[in-house]
């Protein structure tokens, strides 16, 4: 692996081999998402606990201090919205010059397997990998399902992750599934991180599924709504850190959450 890719991956993947990425890119297709209306304010207390943040160039420029040393995963695909015809109709929306100018540690792009625009999004990924590898920038592929959340099953996710890795993604972001998640990981030759999806009912549920994903080979999370839409976002991200980087069990993480809930953010 070339030096630049290794160096940037080392900024993202911690010495223990694990990651806690904080995505705030949701506005790129759904506008001012609940609790992300002012992204700068949302992330301020959370940044110290995240290994990297994932966002678009517009939010990076307007909401993140350029002297911040927090590694950036730049979301570079887009071009559709929740009110448009088809969420899968995406292209690359940020040039390689801009990616370099913004000093991104990695870039992320969605692929929509099984959708009308499957071919287009896979070719987008291939072109992005070619461009980014020239400059030592790792690409994280996002296996998107659009509105079809029911697609999040092991067989489908394994197919998506493997295809993303075959095209050259250095990391793949996918969803957790309760059955056979290990098959998703085993079929993918590059590290897998999981997203959370829409906010779930209880914190312990989040800790349980992340713990299970880690036990089955995921290297960490790219978790957004279940952190910053929580009533106690700082307590939430601190427990996630303990779960991911300090090998806490879900119960221990939950106890820590209850303790930190009472601390003023």
Catalytic residues, by residue number, are 173
Near ligand 5RP by CB under 6 A: residue from 8, 18, 26, 57: 26
CB of 113 to ligand 5RP, least distance (A): 15
Radius of gyration of the chain (CA): 17
Nearer to ligand 5RP, 4 or 78 (CB): 78
State the distance between the two ends of the chain, measured CA to CA, in whole angstroms.
41
Running DSSP on this structure, what letter comes out for residue 187? Answer: T
Does 33 bind ligand 5RP (CB under 6 A)? Our answer is no
Tokens in use for 206? 């989040």
Q: Decide whether 153 or 255 has the Cβ nearer to ligand 5RP.
A: 153
Burial class (CB in 10 A: 0-12, 13-18, 19+), 182: middle
Smaller CB separation from ligand 5RP, 21 or 248 = 21
Q: Which of residues 122-181 bind ligand 5RP (CB under 6 A)?
A: 142
Q: Which of 162, 167, 153 is nearest to 192 (CA)?
A: 162
Quick one: which of 195, 210, 243, 256 contacts ligand 5RP (CB under 6 A)?
Answer: 195
Of 229, 180, 235, nearest to 201 (Cα)?
229
User: Looking at 5, 12, 20, 54, which residue binds ligand 5RP (CB under 6 A)?
Assistant: 54
Contact 99, 76 (CB under 8 A): yes
| Residue 25 touching ligand 5RP (CB under 6 A) | yes
Choices 79-87, 91-99, 221-229, 238-246; region in contact with ligand 5RP by CB under 6 A: 221-229
- Residue 233 as a binder of ligand 5RP (CB under 6 A): the answer is no
Buried residues in 193-218 as b, exposed as e (16+ CB within 10 A): bbbbbeeeeebeebbbbbbbbbebeb
The residue within the footprint of ligand 5RP, chosen from 43, 72, 145, 223 (CB under 6 A), is: 223
By CB under 6 A, name the binding residues for ligand 5RP: 23, 25-26, 54, 142, 195-197, 222-226
């Amino acid at each position: 692996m070339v030096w630049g890719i290794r160096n940037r991956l080392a900024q993202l993947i911690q010495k223990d081999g694990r990651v806690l990425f904080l995505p705030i890119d949701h506005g790129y297709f759904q506008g001012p998402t609940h609790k992300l209306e002012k992204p700068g304010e949302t992330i301020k207390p959370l940044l110290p606990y995240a290994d990297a943040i994932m966002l678009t160039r517009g939010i990076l420029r307007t909401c993140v201090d350029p002297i911040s040393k927090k590694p950036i995963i730049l979301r570079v695909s887009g071009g559709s919205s929740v009110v448009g015809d088809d969420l899968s109709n995406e292209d690359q929306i940020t040039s390689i010059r801009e990616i370099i100018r913004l000093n991104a540690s990695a870039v992320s792009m969605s692929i929509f397997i099984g959708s009308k625009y499957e071919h287009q999004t896979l070719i987008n990924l291939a072109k992005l990998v070619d461009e980014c590898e020239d400059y030592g920038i790792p690409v994280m592929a996002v296996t998107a399902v659009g509105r079809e959340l029911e697609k999040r099953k092991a067989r489908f996710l394994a197919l998506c992750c493997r295809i993303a890795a075959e095209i050259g993604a250095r990391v793949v972001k996918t969803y957790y599934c309760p059955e056979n998640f290990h098959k998703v990981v085993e079929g993918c030759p590059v590290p897998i991180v999981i997203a959370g999806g829409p906010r779930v009912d209880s914190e312990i549920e989040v800790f349980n599924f992340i713990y299970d994903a880690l036990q089955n080979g995921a290297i960490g999370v790219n978790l957004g709504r279940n952190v910053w839409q929580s009533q106690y976002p700082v307590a939430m991200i601190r427990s996630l850190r303990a779960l991911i980087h300090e090998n806490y069990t879900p119960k221990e993480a939950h106890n820590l959450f209850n303790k930190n809930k009472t601390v003023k953010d």
